[in-house]
Amino acid sequence: MKAFALIPLIALLCACGGGGGSDDADVESSVNAGNDLQIIEKTDFSITAQGSPADGTFTWQQVSGPSLDGFPLEGAEQTLTAPDVKTDSEIVLRVSYQSSGTSAVSDDISISVSSNNQLPLVTVTQTSPETLPSVYKDTVTLSGLESSDPDENGQIDSYFWQLLSGPELNIASFNESTLSFSHPLLESNVNLSWQLTVIDDEGGEASTQYSMTLNKTNELVDANAGADQNIEEFEQVTLDATSSETVTDTYQCKWQQLTGNTETLSNSNQCTTTFFASDVDTETTLSFEVTVTDSKGRTDTDSLFVDVSPKALGLINDSGVGECYNNTQRINCESDDFPAQDAELGRDSFANRLDKVGKGNLAFDYTKLNEFADEVSDTSNSFSCIRDNVTGLVWEVKSVASGTVPNTSLRDGQNHYFWDVGNTTFTDTSSANSTCPDNTSCGVQSYINEVNDLDFCGGTNWRLPSYTELLGLIDYGKQGQSVLIDEAFFPNMPSESALSHLRYWTSQTAADGTSLSQAYIIDMSDGNDLAYPKENTAYVRLVRSR
């Protein structure tokens, strides 16, 4: 860039006649920074400025561009070193010049700096396995981390691997500094050829190739039954041997159970098969074996264990509801619009896979007993008690209707009683032979005492059921019917018209203030509960623990 110079005019003063004369001159400064330069990064270069008048001083400063060391600098001539740049850049320097008695003037010089990038050096090394040569299932790792950028402050920005020749490999990423794969199953030794390309931070690109050999495998079929599993009873179990490997394109699988409760596989001749774990009472271990056969008849086997735990279903009965509904109609229980319905949860949802002792709707499990508490056939019409195999409780079965109250038998289902539980010495005869055939009282305790005196069904510990125990007999799947209890196991129900209800006493007093004058009943016709005055009468079904 050329500087500008101002040349002052000289004023001449002339005098006429006999006089003398004098010259006064005002001179302004000028400066020139020199011609613009084109240089290469990290090379030395010189700049020289010229100024007028000659007695002035020069000061250099950097205006823009990559930083140079030492500024500001004093003196007309300077030797500098071009900076290390990643891309072509421009530096602007400014020189200021001032001589005695004049104002400072300045000029700029532009210096174009060209990047002189050195291409990266590419190196590939095999870092695993530690023991070479690698064998089947070894993890083979190739590394490009020893690649470098010879530029003083350069670095490698990216890596790209290519498999030029060799078998198809399962590789997670081709764009990392390292590349890993599992040594495949091979029928013969195979040569692999790789190419690694690296790019530095200035866009410089270089590549190298790397060759290696993968060795053949002695066993050409590798069966894989999958990992051992821990599940709960009733869960669906998937046996998956699709991770097995053969050197042929196709293979077949055959599953067989080795130990444990016999399970039914959906298809034992498929590599993937399923079954629903059976009902178990304790921790149980199942074992299965798969045989894998390739298209040339070569085989291998592998096995796995399935640990089955009892499901935490609890020792209470479920609701008896086995269907799901939307707002208006029955739907598939798998609908996401109406999730977590009763039929999807709890014991009833597994009813078709429960290993029941007796019979009953869905998950209900009842066994019929005779008057001595001996089991009788599930189809028997002659039984006196019912054992609930879920709760372990034994329930009274009412006798056949024998007349009109109070002219009925002791355990006739039509008899009804007021609530006086715990008053074992009650002797008020005012209610005798009123709603029951008892000469002492038609209170519940009198009835309990008489049944225990009989050693009925082999027990003398008969009592009123708790609220939860009695509720456990309700089958809400019978909603809409007149009786919500399984009459196949609990026959001889009283006529609802007798008391206009089917209310049965529980042993639980209702917390209705300080009087404690009510106890809970459960209505077997609709499943509802009610705090009911104890002086009123309701039906009774006794229960005992075994």
Question: What pLDDT is recorded for position 230?
Answer: 96
CATH of the domain at 79: 2.60.40.10
In a domain, 433, yes or no: yes
Domain boundary among 55, 81, 114: 114
Q: Which helix (H) or strand (E) holds 452?
A: helix 444-453
- Residues 443-463: what's their mean pLDDT? 95
Identify the pLDDT of residue 496.
Answer: 66
76-90, 145-159, 211-225, 422-436: least confident range:
422-436
Same domain, residue pair 398 and 512: yes
* Model pLDDT, residue 350: 81
Q: Tell me, yes or no, whether 120 lies in a domain.
A: no
284-294, strands of its sheet edge to edge: 229-232, 299-309, 284-294, 251-259
d(CA 168, CA 308): 39
* Amino acid at position 221, single letter: V
Give the pLDDT mean for 48-66.
93
First-to-final CA distance of the chain: 113
Q: How confident is residue 492, by pLDDT bands cut at 50, 70 and 90?
A: very high
Q: For residue range 202-242, list pLDDT tens digits in order.
A: 899 999 999 999 999 989 999 999 999 999 988 999 999 99
Residues 267 and 331 in one domain: no
Domain-embedded: residue 22: no
Using a cut of 0.85, tell me whether the model's pTM lies above it: no
**pLDDT greater than 70 at residue 47:** yes
Tell whether 106 and 132 lie within a shared domain: no
Using the predicted structure, report yes or no on whether residue 283 has a pLDDT greater than 90. yes
pLDDT of 424 over the 70 cut: no
Q: Which residue has the higher pLDDT, 322 or 143?
A: 143
Which amino acid makes up residue 263?
E
Give residue 2's pLDDT band: very low, low, confident or very high (50, 70, 90): very low
Arithmetic mean of pLDDT over the chain = 89
Total domain count, the chain = 4
Helix, strand, coil percent content, the chain, rounded in steps of 5: 5, 35, 60
Tokens of 506: 């529980």
Domain termination residue (choose one: 214, 240, 268): 214
pLDDT band at 426; cut points 50, 70, 90: low
pLDDT at 132: 87
pLDDT in tens, 65-79: 999 989 999 999 999
Choice among 48-52, 81-85, 397-401 with the minimum mean pLDDT: 81-85
Higher-pLDDT residue of 24, 169? 169
- The sign of the torsion formed by the CA atoms of 317, 321, 324, 328 equals negative
Confidence of residue 427 (pLDDT cuts 50, 70, 90): low
Helix (H) or strand (E) holding 469: helix 467-471
Q: What pLDDT, on the 0 to 100 scale, is given for residue 444?
A: 95
Share above pLDDT 90 across residues of the chain, in percent, rounded to a whole number:
72
User: End of a domain among 114, 133, 148?
Assistant: 114
Confidence at residue 497, expressed as pLDDT on a 0 to 100 scale: 65
Indicate whether 129 and 110 sit together in one domain: no
pLDDT score for 310: 87
Domain range for 541 is 315-546
Is 3 inside any structural domain?
Answer: no
